[in-house]
Structures are given as structure tokens and as C-alpha cells.
Structure 1
Amino acid sequence: MRHDNATYFQRSILHLLRRVDQCATQLYSNETSDNDLTLRQLAIMTAISREDDLSQTDLVNITGIDRSTVAGIVSRLIRKGLLERRRSAFDGRAYCVKLSKRGLKAVAGADRLYTRIEKKLLSGLPAAEANQFVTTLKTILGAQTGDGRQSARA
């Protein structure tokens, strides 16, 4: 019976995706042991660093993180002094967030960090398979979101 159970989990796409997510999260943790930013917090800050005047709705659309989680993350990052909230230049009723000076320093090097973690995560695959894996993930995500866009690293 034990063998059947192990076989099932080795074939379950949901289980395998969850396990790969756990591995990626652990690699992030190992690479950033001196950093108190979670992977989702860094994803939010990275999105903000690449585009000005983003609202929380924009962050939901870009990262794929749900609205209430984004709101909580933004609030925590503001309390940490990493983000600043201001009125939107486009809509006086809405607020946008931007990186503070501390936030800019915290997000500096995020691309190198992502690349380092991704290389470690995919290190067991030949380059062609690693590229195909990324393409497949993008295809699955595009099909599930219905609009072909891929979420940012979340």
C-alpha cells in the first residue's frame, strides 16, 4: 500500500506543483536569511519598482496575488517604511504606492536574487528542458487566467 501512495503523489500535478513551490520558497529563504521580506512582499515591491503610480488593483492584476493579501502586504510595507502611499495623479479618489528611499534600497538586486534562485531551482534540468518548463508554466497560467498574461514572480 505504501508504494501506491508514493506513486500517486509522484503523479499528482497538484502535489508536484505544491512541492516545487515549497522548494522555491525554501531557496528564497536560504538566499535571503538576513532579509525580513517575504517572497510576496518582494514581488509587490519589484512590480512597483518597474512602473510608477500603481494602485492596489494594478498590483493584484500584475502579481496575481489576491486583493485582501495585497492590501495587507501594502499596509505592512508602509508601516516598515518601504512604501509610501499618495493620491493618484490620474484619479483623485484612488491611491497609488511608490517605493520609499528605504524601499528602493531593499529591492535593489531583486533581479539578481530571482535569477540566482531560479538557476538553483532548475539546476537539475538541461537548459532546453528548463526553457520548456518555463514556457509550459506560462502557457498553463495564460490558459487559466483567460487573457494570456503571465503573473509576475509571486
Structure 2
Amino acid sequence: MSTHDDAHRSSIPGRLSSEQLRVWLTYMRVRLRLSYEMGRQLQADSGITLADYDVLAALYSRDDRTMAVSQLAQHVGWERSRASHQVDRMARRGLVERRRSEIDRRVTEVTLLEEGVTLLRAATPLHFALVQRVFFAGIATGEELDRFGSTLESIYRTLCDEGSIPPPPAEQPEDRRVGPS
């Protein structure tokens, strides 16, 4: 197929050019395998799920370690009901506390408990080691990392603008770290 044909195909709604299709299918393979590997590693090494880790890290990123369930859902990119069910499971295990807001009784808040902090701090070095091995090892130079990071940030902004889940509230400062300092 010629370059002209690819350009024409990509202008048709619901079609991808051959290059777009190649990149999209590669991304899908990476996303699925990366989720599997992270989930497997977290479960084997720390006894938690990837969803547990997402919630723990989101709450840890806040100075007061508390968020409204709806805000947590926006932060991790889930529907509110999924976040609520995940919080319930984690509350039963003593990792978080769920309660009504004292300011607005219609709002349910979730707070990271010390048991959750301890678990997150133990899980993070092992998790980051996996991320280094299976994600960042494939990026050879600082320039590639900068370009890849900028591309992901652009895609994320577009997804927040065009997606069906409300965008998260203003992000926390970028220097906030998960796990032990």
C-alpha cells in the first residue's frame, strides 16, 4: 500500500493507517503484559493487587492521605462504583478507613491508615525494581526518555479532555514520591 493510500485511509473515520495500527497494537500488547507483570509481582512479593497499589499510592500522594471516594476514582481513572468497592475491600483489611466527611455528610472520604502506609513502603522498592527491568530498560537514552515522557503526557491530557471519566482534580506536585524517601 502506498503512502497516499495510508494517508487516505487514516482520514476515514474509524480507520487507522498501517503505521497507526502497528503502534496501537504494540501499545495494547505492552499495556496488557505490563499490567499482568505488575499484578503478578505485587501479589507474589507483597500480597496486594495492582488495584490495591493504585489506591495506596494515590492516597499516599496527598499530604493528609485522605480523598473523597469520587476524587480517588478520578485520580486513578476508575468509575466511582469501582473505587467504592475497592475501598470497601481494603477497609476490611485495615489498609484504609472509609467515613462520611465532617464538612459535607454526602461525601464519603477514604484515609490511608498506618498499615496501608507500611504495606506501600514495603511494596514500592520491589515494584520499582520491576518497573526498571521491564519498562525503563527498553529506553536507551535520556533523550528517548524525555521524548517518550512528553508523548505520554500529551496522550494523557487528550484522554482527560476527550474521555468519559471526569479529569482528576489538579495533580499533586510532581516531586511527591511514593514509598520510602
TM-fit CA distance, 1:18: 1.9
Structure 1 vs Structure 2 CA RMSD: 2.7
Normalised to the residue count of structure 2, the TM-score between the two structures is 0.67
Contact (CA 8 Å) 1:88, 1:95: kept in 2 or not?
yes
TM-fit CA distance, 1:9: 10
Q: Which has the higher contact order (CA 8 A, sep 6+)?
A: 1
Distance in 2 separating the partners of 1:44 and 1:144: 20
Which residue in 2 is equivalent to 1:102?
Answer: 115
Which residue in 2 is equivalent to 1:133?
Answer: 148
Secondary structure, counterpart of 1:37 in structure 2: coil
Which residue in 2 is equivalent to 1:55?
Answer: 68
Secondary structure, counterpart of 1:108 in structure 2: helix
Which stretch of structure 1 is more off in the superposition, 87-96 or 59-68? Answer: 87-96
The amino acid of 1:137's aligned partner reads L
**Cα deviation digits, residues 38-74 of structure 1 (max 9, x gap):** 2122111111112233111111121112222211211
Distance in 1 separating the partners of 2:19 and 2:87: 36
Secondary structure, counterpart of 1:12 in structure 2: helix
Contact (CA 8 Å) 1:24, 1:117: kept in 2 or not?
no
Identity of aligned residues (%): 24
Normalised to the residue count of structure 1, the TM-score between the two structures is 0.77
- Stretches of structure 1 that go unaligned for 5 or more consecutive residues are 1-7
Count of residue pairs the alignment pairs up: 143
- Stretches of structure 2 that go unaligned for 5 or more consecutive residues are 1-17, 162-166, 172-181
Distance in 2 separating the partners of 1:54 and 1:38: 20
Aligned mate of 2:41, from 4, 28, 31: 31
Which residue in 1 is equivalent to 2:175?
Answer: none
Distance in 2 separating the partners of 1:119 and 1:16: 19
